[in-house]
Amino acid sequence: MKKLICFLILTLGILACSSAEEKASKNYEFTKEYTVQITVGGFIGVIDRTFMVGETFKGKDNGESIEIRIAEHTKRNENCPNSWCYQELLSVPKEYLKLKE
């Protein structure tokens, strides 16, 4: 019985944290071109990626920069590092992004 109660509390805690995280994310739009190297994994490894003016991503303001999500999390990206891991988040200087309302 104690295990069941602990499981329910843990489940509710995880659900509460994930919904709070989604509420904190906002949409940010690029105002200038921004080129950076990102990790794509597999045989390719790393590529240069240019974000174009007008592209929109969900992100969070970290004070000095904005952390945007450039890829969704999948099972392939768990238990990293391995050769198939890819980059999910990217910190971008604020001068390249604006809050999209």
Query: In degrees, to the nearest 5, what angle opens at C-alpha 24 toward C-alphas 58 and 29?
Result: 30
- The pLDDT assigned to 79 comes to 77
Residue pLDDT tens, the chain, 101 long: 555 454 545 555 555 555 444 457 899 999 999 999 988 877 678 889 999 999 999 999 998 899 999 988 888 777 777 777 888 889 999 999 999 87
Instruction: Classify residue 18 as exposed, middle or buried by CB count within 10 Å of its CB (0-12, 13-18, 19+).
Output: exposed
> Residue 97: which of 48, 64, 74 has the closest Cα?
64
User: The pTM is what?
Assistant: 0.68
